[in-house]
Amino acid sequence: MSSTLDSQNSTAAADGGGATQGARAAGAPAPNVLALLPIAVFLIIYLGSGIYFEYIHPIDGKMGFYITSVVVSFGIALTVAFFQNRKLSFDEKISVCARGIGDSNITIMLLIFLLAGAFSGIASATGGAESTANMLLNIIPENYAVLGLFITGCVISMAMGTSVGTISVLAPIALTVSQGSGFSVPLCAASVVGGAMFGDNLSFISDTTIAATKTQGVAMKDKFLTNIKIALPAAAVTVAILIGLSMGHEPLPSDGHDFNFLLALPYFLVFVLALLGMNVFVVLLIGTFLFLIFGLFFGSVSYALAFEAMGRGTSSMFETMIVTILVASIAALIRVHGGFASILAFIRRHFNSRRGGMAGIAMVTSFMDISTANNTVAIVAAAPVARDISREFGVSPRITASLLDTCSCIMQGIIPYGAQLLVAAGIMGISSISIVPWLFYQFVLALFVGIVILRAR
C-alpha cells in the first residue's frame, strides 16, 4: 500500500510545473518569501538573545537560552504575522488561526501531552525512574559502567519519554561513575545524553514522537518501526565504540544499587503495550494507574503526594502546549500568505527527486532545532512544510515523521545551548562544549540518516 502511494506521489512530483499550476488554480497561495518574516523575527528575538545571554553577557545561575521566553518570542512572531497580508481582514486571520489550532491532530497532541505529563510526574515521584536505572546498572559489569550509562539512558528515556528527565536522573550517577572509574566526566555525560536522545527519539510517549506522528497522520507504531531501522544500528555502533573505550579498565568495587522491580515494571509494560499497537491514551492511563497503586502500596508516595506529582507533571507540559497552539496559528497564517509555497519553490529549484525531498525535510527540521533549541518546538514548526514537501516529492508520511523526529533529536543532542547538554553540564560541573566531542551516538545517527537519504530512489 505504502509503495503504491510512494509511486503515485513520485509521479505527481515528476509532473513538475503542471501540478504546480493546477494547485494554484485550485486556490493555493503564490510563493511569497516575505510571509516567512514571522520566523525571522522569532529567530532574531529568541536565538539572538539566547546567544547574547549565554556567551556574551551571561547571568549567574541562568541558562542563556531560557532567559527570553519561547512563548513570548512566538507571541511576537504571531503578532507580526497578523500585520501581514492586508487582503485578509483581522477576523479572517483569526478564522485561519482557529482552523490551524482546531486541526484534529493538534487537539489529540495536546491531550496526549497532558496525559504524558501526569504519567511522567507520578513515575518520578514514586521512584520508578531511579529503580529502573539502578536495576540496569546492577546487571551491567562495573568495568563497563560507561557503556551501562548509555544503555540505561536508552531504556529510561524510552520508558519516561523525556530526555531531560532521563539526564536529570542519570547525571548524578554518571558523575559518581566517573569519579571512581577513571572515565572522563565529559565521556560519562555524553553517554547519558546519547542514551537519552536514543530513547526520546523512539519512545511512544515522548512529546517529539507525539508531535511528529500526529502532524503527519502516522501511527506511532509505524514511525517506531521506521525509526528503529536507523536508530538501532547507530546505537550498535555506539555500543561497539564504548566497549572499545572500556577495555582495559579494572572492575570497580561496588555495593550495588538498590531498586524495586515492581516500581520499574510499569515503564516496561507501557513500552510493550504501545509496541503492540494499543491506543496511547489507554497505555498512559494504565501506566499512571499502576504507578499510583505501586507507589501507595510501597509507601513511596501518599495519596496527596501522588496527585500533587501528577499535577506538577501536567503543569510541566503547559509551555509546550501553548507553544504548539502559537506555532499552529503562525503556520496557518504563513501558509495562506504563501510562505510555505516559497520554501517548496526553493526546494523544487534545488532538488528534483524523492531523495531531494527527504534532504529538504531533514534540512528544514535541523535548522528549526538549531534556531529554537527545542526539538518538540522544531518539529511542530517544521511539520506543515515537511508535510507539503512529502506530498510534492513522494515521501511517505511515516518516513517524514521519522525524519522530523530523528533530525530534531540529533541536533538537540549536539547543540551546546540546548537543555539536554546544559542540564548534564550543570549537574556534572563541566562546560557543555566539553561534552560535544564525545557525543558518539548523535554523530553516528546523523551519518546513518545521511546514508538513508542518499540510498533513497
- List, for residues 257-269, the tens digit of each pLDDT value: 677 888 878 877 8
pLDDT digits (tens, 9 = 90+) for 186-218: 998 999 999 999 988 988 878 889 889 988 999
Q: Which residue has the cell 501536567?
A: 314
223 touches 217 (CB < 8 A): no
Q: What is the mean pLDDT of the chain?
A: 82
pLDDT band of residue 430 (cuts 50, 70, 90) is: confident
Q: What is the pLDDT of residue 247?
A: 79
Q: Which residue has the cell 479572517?
A: 92
pLDDT band of residue 181 (cuts 50, 70, 90) is: low
Q: What is the pLDDT of residue 362?
A: 94
Q: How far apart are CA 326 and CA 317, in angstroms?
A: 14
Q: Which of 200, 118, 220 is nearest to 411 (CA)?
A: 200
Q: How far apart are CA 42 and CA 411, in angstroms?
A: 19
pLDDT digits (tens, 9 = 90+) for 400-417: 999 999 999 999 999 877
Q: What is the pLDDT of residue 220?
A: 87
The set of cell numbers assigned to 217 is 497522520
pLDDT(361) > 60: yes
Q: CB-based burial of residue 415 (10 Å sphere; 0-12 exposed, 13-18 middle, 19+ buried)? A: buried
CA 306 to chain centre: 27
Q: What is the pLDDT of residue 274?
A: 67
Mean per-residue pLDDT, 55-81: 83
Q: Which of 203, 119, 169 is nearest to 423 (CA)?
A: 169
pLDDT(277) > 60: yes
How many Cα neighbours within 13 Å face the side chain of 230?
Answer: 29
287 touches 128 (CB < 8 A): no
pLDDT(294) > 50: yes
| pTM greater than 0.85 | no
Dihedral sign from CA coordinates of 67, 68, 71, 74: negative
pLDDT band of residue 3 (cuts 50, 70, 90) is: very low
Q: Which of 441, 425, 442 is nearest to 433 (CA)?
A: 425
Is 17 or 301 the better-scoring residue by pLDDT? 301
Q: What is the pLDDT of residue 249?
A: 61
> Which of 54-58, 200-204, 278-282 has the largest mean confidence?
200-204
Q: What is the DSSP letter of 258?
A: -
Is 140 or 174 the better-scoring residue by pLDDT? 174
The set of cell numbers assigned to 202 is 523512539
Q: What is the pLDDT of residue 180?
A: 63
pLDDT(172) > 80: no
pLDDT digits (tens, 9 = 90+) for 304-360: 999 999 999 888 878 878 887 888 898 889 888 988 788 878 887 887 788 989 999
Is 23 or 193 the better-scoring residue by pLDDT? 193
Is 254 or 297 the better-scoring residue by pLDDT? 297
> Which of 106-120, 191-205, 421-435, 436-450 has the largest mean confidence?
436-450
Q: Which of 65, 164, 117, 122 is nearest to 321 (CA)?
A: 117
Dihedral sign from CA coordinates of 245, 165, 196, 272: positive
| Of the candidate ranges 281-285, 302-306, 450-454, the one whose mean pLDDT is the lowest | 281-285
| Of the candidate ranges 26-35, 37-46, 81-90, the one whose mean pLDDT is the lowest | 26-35
pLDDT band of residue 248 (cuts 50, 70, 90) is: low
Q: What is the pLDDT of residue 7?
A: 40
Q: How far apart are CA 318 and CA 321, in angstroms?
A: 5
Mean per-residue pLDDT, 219-235: 92
Q: What is the DSSP letter of 144?
A: G
pLDDT band of residue 70 (cuts 50, 70, 90) is: confident
pLDDT digits (tens, 9 = 90+) for 77-108: 999 999 998 889 999 999 999 998 887 767 87
pLDDT exceeding 90 applies to what percent of the chain? Answer: 27
- Angle at the Cα of 180 (from 175 to 184), degrees rounded to 5? 60
Q: How far apart are CA 12 and CA 355, in angstroms?
A: 15
Cα-based torsion angle of the residue sequence 210, 216, 219, 225 in order, rounded to the nearest 10 degrees: -90
